[in-house]
Chain A
Amino acid sequence: MPFIVLAPSLAASFIYVFVFTIWTFYISLSDSSLLPTYGFVGFQHYISIWANQRWQIAYSNLFLFSALYVVFAILIGLGLAIAIDQRVRGEAIWRTIFLYPLAVSFAVTGTVWAWLYSPNAGIEFFVRNLGWTDFTFRLTTDRRLAIYAVIATGIWQSSGFAMALFLAGLRSVDPDLVKAAQIDGAGMFRIYRKVIIPTIAPIAIAVTVVLLQFAIKTFDLVAALTNNGGPGVSTTFPATYVYDLMFQRGQIAEGATAAILMLAALAVVLVPYALWLVWRRRAESGHG
């Protein structure tokens, strides 16, 4: 009985994970253009893609985005968590404020931020109206700066997530340990450094992995914020590149190649993390 009940989901997941991946992989090795065809051409798309200027922009954007996004989301998230953990009044209200962006789609938040970044109605307009008439703040219309608008919006959306996890971590720190350290004369800074930070370091790693995963999959944010990679192609990401090649330009094989490279990037992040988790679990059960 159990196996019969499990079978449909199992079959569906199997097809979804393995058949679809192999299928897309095969398309990436084919001569598909407007429609998928199955003439085998080998790995030539995997070589030619690195010479494609747009793909170069896409992956360098991904590196820049990932680095700044992860670092600042963690720093801000940790800062907020520590502040909220100081027994502030209205804790639930603060938490609700910092987490709500996560409940809402980027189709919503990306659109609103696009307006706020726009010079003739948003933040620039507002500050100029306050009297600072040569204030300029036009991230999304500048090819060099647009990527920072994407990064800032990403950080805005995800810091709350880091905060929630860090706050849970701070709450799990043994209060007796902190008291003992205080009695020994350790200052607040020292206590954070020696007692609390080590306890929440595993959380920082988990947050990093999850955020890197978000970063690699970044698509709706860019679609809503900079109209799929604008201005020009300056905010192209791997995910928007896949979409564009498959559905706008009819270069399906190249699109599939980029999709497989996205999967490879995810594997680079997730496989070491999974191994680390297994290793840690072994180590823990070994000790006790």
Chain B
Amino acid sequence: MVDAAIRATIDDAAASAAARRHFAGRVGVYAFLTFFAFIYVLPLFVIVANSFRELPEIIQNGLIGFPHSFSFKAWSTVWNSYCVGGTCAGIQHNFFNSLEMTIPATIISTMLGLLNGYILSKWRFYGSEVIFTCMMFGVFMPGQISLMPWAFILGQVGLANSITGLVLIHCVQGVSFTTLFCRNYYINIPDDLIKAARIDGAGFWRIFFKIILPLSPPILIVTVIWQFTGIWNEYLFGVVFTAGRAQPITASLVGMATGGTNVRVYDVMSAGVLIGAIPPLLIYFFGGKYFVRGLTQGAIK
């Protein structure tokens, strides 16, 4: 009896020590995460807050601080009338340039990727593996290698300093990514499905539209998200092949932020930077799951 009581107390002590240790561990985990979360959120907080603060307040209190003033002035200035690259019509042109570049390039490269992936996984022919491997080199090529050839070609076909030229570049560059994604996805669709359809007399397009495409939404979303954010955020080609009002927003933002003026209009630039970040951020917050899937697939395969 007494023995059992003692044993129970010892067990209790051990259990509460374990619980204490467990509790300390939990606190440690949350402290660790909170510390890093703070560093991660800080830049986002800073641009969001400063896009609504008034400039004198930012100058006086610094960039990091809770807003004491609130206005939409910076947003309308940067959109309508801020001077970028010599013209004072805001960054709205650059924003629309980015849309005009990103949407067609995303659609075209994704459609080509779906078809290529379908062919390279379901209509294999002699040498198709070699072709696939060669196309994959495009995924890893540094853009710098292609700058001079593109400059020459765009000049020849009259697409220098145009959004259409950038669409062309992004389609050619993007098709290797989209083909990779789609091919690796379709390879898991059983070949028997295709064989059965072929025996029933279905041809290339019929199989694509009736079997492959209905099975594609998951990879379609991943590919579209990947292409959209990648092309929207691209900077090198934008800054090399376009200037002034023809630039996509990434190029104009960097030009704005590193430009010659010494006076930093933090409120206006915060709003501008945020406008450039909103489309990919929206996609990320609403399609995060697919974004992450694209990342992991793009990385490991």
- Interface residues in chain A, defined as those with a beta carbon under 8 Å from any beta carbon in chain B: 1-3, 5-6, 8-10, 12-21, 23-24, 27, 36, 76, 79-80, 83-84, 86, 88, 94-116, 121-123, 125-126, 129, 156, 159-161, 164-165, 168, 203, 206-207, 210, 213, 216-217, 219-220, 223-224, 227-228, 239, 242-243, 246-247, 252, 256, 258-260, 262-263, 266, 270
13 contacts across the A-B interface (CB closer than 8 A) = A9-B112, A9-B116, A9-B135, A20-B141, A80-B36, A83-B32, A88-B30, A95-B288, A98-B40, A103-B280, A108-B273, A164-B295, A266-B140
Residues of A within 8 A of B62 (CB): 121-122, 125-126, 129
Contact of A19 among B140, B149, B232 (CB under 8 A): B149
Q: Contact between B115 and A103 (Cβ–Cβ < 8 Å)?
A: no
- In the A-B complex, the 10 residue pairs with the closest CB atoms: A105-B233, A103-B284, A107-B250, A2-B123, A220-B235, A259-B144, A227-B258, A125-B62, A112-B43, A126-B64
Q: Which residue of chain A is the closest to B38 with respect to CB atoms?
A: A97
B144 x A5 contact (CB < 8 A): no
Which residue of A is nearest B238, CB measured? A107
- A12-B172, A122-B62 given; A105·B145 CB < 8 A: no
Known: A9-B116, A103-B281, A223-B258. A121 touches B58 (CB 8 A): yes
Within 8 A of A (CB), among B132-149: 134-135, 137-138, 140-149
**Interface contact A5-B119, CB-CB below 8 Å:** yes
- Cβ–Cβ contact B273 & A111, under 8 A: yes
Q: Is the interface of B mostly helix, strand, loop or mixed?
A: helix
Contact with A along B1-35 (1 / 0, CB 8 A): 00000000000000000000000011001101100
Stretch binding the partner chain, chosen from B71-79, B81-89, B173-181, B210-218 = B173-181
Q: Is B266 an interface residue, CB under 8 A from the partner? A: yes
Distance (Å) between the CB of B113 and the closest chain A CB? 8
Contact, CB under 8 Å: B43 / A103: no
Complex Cα distance A67/B131, Å? 34
Q: How far is the CB of A139 from chain B (nearest CB, A)?
A: 15
List A contacts of B202 (CB < 8 A): none
A243, B241: Cα distance in complex, Å: 12
Chain B: which residue is nearest A226 at the CB level? B258
Closest-CB distance, B35 to chain A (whole angstroms): 10
- CB contacts (< 8 Å) of B43 on chain A: these are 101, 109, 112-113, 116
Chain B residues with Cβ under 8 A from A239's Cβ?
142, 144, 236
Number of interface residues of B (CB under 8 A): 90
Report the minimal beta-carbon distance from A241 to chain B, rounded to whole angstroms.
9
Interface membership of chain B positions 163-179, coded 1 if the CB is closer than 8 angstroms to chain A and 0 otherwise:
00000000111011001
Give chain B interface residues in 51-94, CB to chain A under 8 Å: 58-59, 61-65
Secondary structure call for the A interface: helix
B193 in the interface, Cβ–Cβ < 8 Å? no
Q: Assess the A98–B36 pair: CB atoms within 8 A.
A: yes
Contact of A23 among B120, B148, B233 (CB under 8 A): B148
Rounded to whole angstroms, the CA-CA distance of A100 and B292 in the bound complex is 10
- In the complex, whether B154 has a CB less than 8 A from a CB of chain A is no
With A13-B172, A224-B257 known as contacts, the answer to whether A103 contacts B235 (CB < 8 A) is: no
**Cβ contacts under 8 Å, A260 to chain B:** 145
In the bound complex, residues from chain A placing their C-beta under 8 Å from that of B40 are 97-98, 100-101, 156, 160
For A99, what are the chain B residues with a Cβ–Cβ distance below 8 Å? 284, 288, 291-292
Given the complex of chains A and B, what is the CA–CA distance between A243 and B30 in angstroms?
44
Assembled-state Cα–Cα distance A79/B300 (Å): 20
CA distance A169 to B138 in the complex (A): 27
Assess the B134–A220 pair: CB atoms within 8 A.
no
| A125, A223, A243, A252 pick with most chain B CB within 10 angstroms | A223
Nearest-CB residue, chain B, relative to A76: B36
Give the chain A neighbours of B175 by CB distance below 8 A: 9, 12-13
